[in-house]
C-alpha cells in the first residue's frame, strides 16, 4: 500500500480559501472535484508544472488565488456572511474527508467548455478527457 498523502492543517486552511474563491457557489460534487485537483497537483511528480509548495500550486492553477479574486479576498478576510461561512465550512470539511478516504480521483485540470484552455486540453496529445462535473470538463494526463 502506498504511503498516505497528508497535508498539514494550516495548508488545508489556505487551500480551503483558494477553493472557496474558485467554487464556493457550486454544489458539493464540484467542490469535491476542485479539492481533488488540488491534492493531485500537490501529489504530482510534475513539480515544474504544478509547483512544490501550496502557494505555487495555487498560483499556477487556481484563478481565484492567482488573480486575488473578490471571493478569495472574502475568504482571507474571514468577514463572511452566514451562507459563505457554511460554504467555507463544507469545503474545509471536504478536505478532511477526501484526505481521510485518500479519495483523490484522477483530475488534474478542470475548465468550462467555453474557455480557450478547454480547447487546448482537448487537443493536447498527452491529456485525456475524464468527464463532466457540473459546468466543468475534467482532464488528466494519459
E strand or H helix at 50: helix 47-50
Residue ranges of the chain with pLDDT lower than 70?
A: 1-2
Residues in the chain: 142
Place of cell 474558485: 22
2 domain-assigned: no
Residues 63 and 100 in one domain: yes
Judge if 67 and 120 occupy the same domain.
no
Give pLDDT, residue 99: 95
* Cβ 18 vs Cβ 38: under 8 Å: yes
**Quick one: 54 and 97 in the same domain?**
yes
Supply the pLDDT for residue 23: 97
User: What's the pLDDT score for residue 1?
Assistant: 43
pTM over 0.85: yes
**Does residue 126 share a domain with residue 98?**
no
44-82 residue pLDDT tens: 999 999 999 999 999 999 999 999 999 999 999 999 999
> Cβ neighbours of residue 109 under 8 Å, at least 6 residues apart?
37, 61, 117, 121, 127, 138, 139, 140
**Grid cell 492543517 — which residue?**
9
Q: State which residues form the domain around 19.
A: 9-104
Give the chain's domain count.
Answer: 2
Residue 124 falls inside a structural domain: yes
Q: What is the pLDDT of residue 2?
A: 59
Helix or strand run (H / E) with residue 99: helix 82-101
Amino acid at each position: 500500500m502506498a504511503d498516505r498523502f497528508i497535508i498539514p492543517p494550516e495548508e488545508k486552511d489556505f487551500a480551503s480559501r483558494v477553493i472557496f474563491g474558485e467554487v464556493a457557489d457550486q454544489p458539493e460534487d464540484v467542490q469535491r472535484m476542485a479539492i481533488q485537483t488540488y491534492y493531485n497537483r500537490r501529489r504530482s511528480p510534475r513539480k515544474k508544472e504544478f509547483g512544490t509548495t501550496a502557494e505555487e500550486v495555487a498560483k499556477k492553477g487556481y484563478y481565484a488565488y492567482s488573480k486575488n479574486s473578490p471571493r478569495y479576498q472574502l475568504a482571507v478576510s474571514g468577514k463572511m456572511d452566514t451562507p459563505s461561512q457554511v460554504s467555507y465550512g463544507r469545503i474545509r470539511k471536504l478536505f478532511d474527508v477526501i484526505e481521510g478516504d485518500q479519495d483523490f480521483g484522477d483530475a488534474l485540470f478542470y475548465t468550462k467548455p467555453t474557455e480557450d484552455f478547454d480547447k487546448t486540453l482537448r487537443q493536447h496529445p498527452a491529456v485525456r478527457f475524464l468527464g463532466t462535473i457540473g459546468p466543468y470538463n475534467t482532464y488528466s494526463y494519459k
